[in-house]
Structure 1
Amino acid sequence: MAVAIRELDGRIPVAQALLFRSIIGLAFVGCIIQLAGKTYLFKTSKPVLHSVRNLFHFAGQYGWFLGIGLLPLAEVFALEFTVPIWTILIAALFLGEAITWRKVAAVLLGLLGVAVIVRPGIEIIDTAALIVLASAMCYAISHSCTKVMALTEKPLTILFYMCLVQLPVGLVLSLAVWVWPVGIEWLWIVVIGLTALSAHFCLTKAMQHAEVGIVVTLDFIRLPMIGLVGVLLYQEQLEITLLLGGGLMLLGNMLNIKTDKAG
């Protein structure tokens, strides 16, 4: 999905890309549910929670895309990866999940790994940075809502309502800046739609088997993976800091996973 977003950068407005993602997702998930004969998955007992989750999720995505246009990419990633901190705090306050020393160590090692890789400067704190930080908080609220819903809702139901709620929001924001995709841009839009669905499906399934704090800490692995994608596809330089930071993240994740097994 990151590759597709990069290929569409500057061509398709953010809200419109999110709208197309919702349309593709709604059609894809709807067809799967219908063909499987499980139409009961269209029903939910938590419509309000679905709405809250997806409004915060949309806001988080929009702020993240906006931040990419306002800040150096390194600073955006550094701020985005504060999500596990906010998620662990929210889960402790509202879901009753315990804050253990292993969770704290996992978060700190992950953040240290991010700092090693992106080396954010002191000028990181400005208005644009606060937008991305607010985006990270929105993601944390969304993740916590997903954990609550994963206890009773099926992953396909969560995905269906994600697309259903976010579609009209994306449509309203897209009308004033509409640009029709051309050529290969349609392919990248489809890639965004399908990879967003698969990522959210895996996230929801993971939250059915582990605490939300553990799941989002694993997200740290995404940064060194994105770095490797840059090396392989965009001829970006492979630096030793990427390997060192990735190693710190992996150590933190191993601590957190050990907590889950021990519990």
Structure 2
Amino acid sequence: MTSNLTTFYSSGITQMFLATFSFFMANVFVKQLAKMPVMEIVFFRSIVAGAFCWIGIRQAKVHWAGNNKPFLVFRGISGTVALVLFFITLQNIPLASATTIQYLSPIFTAFIAIFFLKESVTVLQWFFYAIAFSGVLLMKNFDPRVSLFYLVIGVIAAFGSGVAYNFVRRLKDTEHPLVIILYFQIIGLVVSIPAMLFAWKSPVGMEWIYLLFVGIFSQLGQVFLTNAFSRERAASVAIIVYTGLVYAISVGWIIYGERQTLFASLGMLLVVVGVAASILYGKRRKDLEKLEAVVK
């Protein structure tokens, strides 16, 4: 029995469920900090997550500076910009809507990879992307709580995540995962400290706990995510990320009273279907290309 539990816990699928839940919890606590300046949240998140990251690097006996410093810095910058903009959307539109818009990031990852990694995208994949974006438009038109301004901010955040993911893909063969994550936290500190000089709100009461949990759950999510992709095929675990939307809709309704209209819900479904289909098709396509290469 114990052996079965250990195997279940250590599986990549379980790790991805834990990663999805951890990131979702971090988002909930950001939502709870709606009256706190975003840069301040980024600052505390970077300190807490960075501390855990530093401990992990020391235990792994890896040099923190890494090898490809320019790419590490650019990954940190793009990730920080995406994080700041995503936090802004979390604070100003329904939790489920902000989460759904962020799910567009795999599309931007694939699009940027055309130029950055010289990868190709098929007509069918573009069709899936169109389905996903039509879902975003449906959300915008049938949910008055999602303004055009915050929709654009959310889409730019997803684009920034796509840029960051491409840098991670370029760095994965030369850098330890914790080093990549550490640079993300360092850039977050560098960017947030000057900004806090112009907008500072001293945390009070439970806000300290919320800030701590944002950092803890963010770091847990990064660790579980890394473990998931190292233990299972990418296509097998990537789709699990979209269970986060179920959490977002449920908690948004129960805690924040964020009820979804029929058409807004349909829009969310289109986003998930479009992105998930593109991921599955892209993975199947790569597998077939590898098989053809072997046959030849």
1:139: how far off? Answer: 2.1
1:78 Cα deviation (Å)?
A: 6.6
Q: Number of residue pairs matched?
A: 257
Secondary structure at 2:66 match in 1: coil
Distance verdict in 2 for CA 1:91–1:204, change over 3 Å: farther
* Mapping 1:9-48, distance limit 5 Å: 9-10=34-35, 12-34=36-58, 36=59, 38-48=60-70
1:53 to 51, 75, 78: 75
Distance in 1 (alpha carbons) for counterparts of 2:133 and 2:204? 39
Q: Distance in 2 between matches of 1:52 and 1:211?
A: 24
1:185 to 207, 227, 230: 207
Residue 47 of structure 2 aligns with an amino acid whose one-letter code is I
What is the CA–CA distance in structure 2 between the aligned matches of 1:66 and 1:94, rounded to whole Å?
28
Asked if structure 2 preserves the Cα contact closer than 8 Å seen for 1:113 and 1:245, the reply is yes
What secondary structure sits across from 1:177 in the alignment?
coil
Please give the per-residue CA displacement for 1:197-225, whole angstroms capped at 9, x wherever unaligned.
Answer: 2333445556667779x95x875554443
Q: 1:84 to 1:225 in 2, by over 3 A?
A: same
**TM-score of the two chains, using structure 1 as the length reference:** 0.78
Deviation at 1:115, TM superposition (A): 4.7
Contact 2:100 2:268 in 1 (8 A): no
SS in 2 for 1:234: coil
Q: 1:144 aligns with which of 166, 182, 202?
A: 166
Quote the offset at 1:226 in angstroms.
1.3
SS in 2 for 1:57: helix
Counterpart code for 2:141: P
**Identity, % of aligned pairs?**
22
Kept in 2, the 8 Å contact 1:60–1:138? The answer is yes
- In 1, distance between residues paired with 2:188 and 2:137? 33
> Which letter maps to 1:98?
S
In the aligned structure 2, how far is the partner of 1:250 from the partner of 1:126?
23
Query: 2 CA distance for matches of 1:129 and 1:253?
Result: 21
User: Superposed, which structure 2 residues align to 1:106-117 within 5 Å?
Assistant: 106-115=128-137
RMSD (CA atoms)? 3.6
Return the offset for 1:91: 0.7
The structural deviation recorded for 1:58 is 1.4
Pair 1:77–1:194, CA change in 2 (3 A): closer
2:200 aligned with 1:173: no
Aligned to 1:260: 283
Letter in 2 for 1:139: S
In structure 2, do the counterparts of structure 1 residues 180 and 144 end up closer, same or farther at CA, with 3 Å as the change threshold?
same
Q: Which moved more, 1:71-80 or 1:253-262?
A: 71-80
Q: Structure 1 stretches of 5 or more lacking a match?
A: none
State how far apart, in whole Å, the 2-side matches of 1:140 and 1:19 are.
22
Pairing partner for 2:32 from 7, 13, 20: 7
Listed as ranges, the gaps of 5+ residues in structure 2 are: 1-25, 288-296
- Tell me the CA shift for residue 59 of structure 1: 1.6
Letter in 2 for 1:87: T
The answer to whether the aligner puts 1:120 opposite 2:141 as a matched pair is yes
How far did residue 175 of structure 1 move?
1.9
Q: What SS is found at the alignment partner of 2:203?
A: coil
